[in-house]
Structure 1
Amino acid sequence: MTRKPWTGPELVRLETLYPNTPMRHLEVIFQRNERAIYAKAYGMGLKRSAEYLASPASGRLVPGDKRGANCQFQKGQTPWNAGKKGWQAGGRAAETQFKKGEMAGRAQALYKPVGHERITKDGILQRKIRDDGPLHRRWKSVHSIIWEEQHGPIPAGHIVVFTDKGPRHTDITINRLELISRAENARRNTIHRYPPELKHVIRKLAKLKRKVQEKQREESNGSH
């Protein structure tokens, strides 16, 4: 069926026939496909009548309709896959299937066994402690492991930190570690741990840095 514009008489006829005429008949009458007829009817705001929708011609299921009943499972009927675990292809398919825990490609190349150690970008020595679970829970800092070996699990809201400024990936001993709250750690890493005179200088430097950045942005925007 070729695409062609709708004429005035066709639109009048469509408005008359659409509410109660099966689609297969409309396709023959207007020499257009189902999609074109539905689109035009929708654009005109036409709808099927309640009588048509309730009739077998609409193809819709209504309460009490027995169509397809012969294909339904009957009460007490045993499905064909009862007692079977999964589906197994024939031939040599089983030989090429991935086995549980098996890896290949990039995953295999990047895999590190439990016990492997690495140094993070922050200079922290970590050790892999498990293969399952979220990635960030598979690794743990070695200094935390050493502290827990001596004192037990780290309490909630606390962390283990180094007491000195030495390297955090080597020569890790219990005497270099201490347990502090996260709140205390936050205080130690802010300017509040400095004397008033130094805090004043730090604030002035931060303000000056912001001014320089603002000036640089203004000059950059003005050059475009």
Structure 2
Amino acid sequence: MMARIRFTAEQIDWLRQEFPCRRVPALTSAFNRHFGLSLSEGQIRCALKNHRVLSGRRGRLDAAARAVWTPPRVAVLRMLRQKYSTRECAETINARYGLNLTPSAIKGACARFGIPAATDGRFKPGSEAYKMRRTPNRSNAGSFRPGNRPHNTHPIGAYRLARKDGWLIRVQDSGTPYRARFDWRPVRHLVYEEHYGPVPDGHIVLLLDGDQDNCLDPDNLIAVTRAVMARLNQAGFSDLPQDRDIRRAVVAEAIYRQAAHARGRAAGLRYAERRALITPVARP
């Protein structure tokens, strides 16, 4: 195992003085000649890192880069960058020196040699915003005026068929799309209220035969609670024959079983005991 090298203060000071103007290979050779040692490049690199010796150079400038960016060309780039963009600088330098540099190469050279741009891209105090210098766009002026309605607006009294609620009728016009859903009411609700009075709270109006087109027949309407509707769904009410008498009997049995379930819960019966009272209604 190689013994650990301890660098003296004199040696560290020499590295700090010579590293800014020498690369590591040249620095290693000069260090060994000056102090009569035989250290490797790796040991010099570790010494530079451990003692935080910095070169002050930005980026890695290889032989090809040194051939391209000679001091006169760097001076020209520094002068051009104060007035032109990286693309314009690349075009000017390529035309002047016969090179093929890209705007990215110009940007990298500016960062390497510490060449700032003419502007930093930030607004200065008192500057005018870009949108204030533009001509206002008046193409849509007057297109949407107060009271303007789309061409497909449904008038009050119009009908439409919804997938979930069946036939709906528009009863009011709120004038805002956020409340448009309150402008429509199911037709079967209006027919039920006309013949039987208001729909009780917590009830829904059910079509006995399941045909949405028969919503105007009051004999085809019945109000049930959502709990009863759950029992009907468990019994496969939608798959029953479209005979009103059969379906009315099934609804009556579901109402009876739901009432028995509610009484069993009030009496403190267990779940299995209540379950026996609400078995699915048998299909005819």
TM-score by length of 1: 0.40
Higher helix share: 2
TM-score by length of 2: 0.33
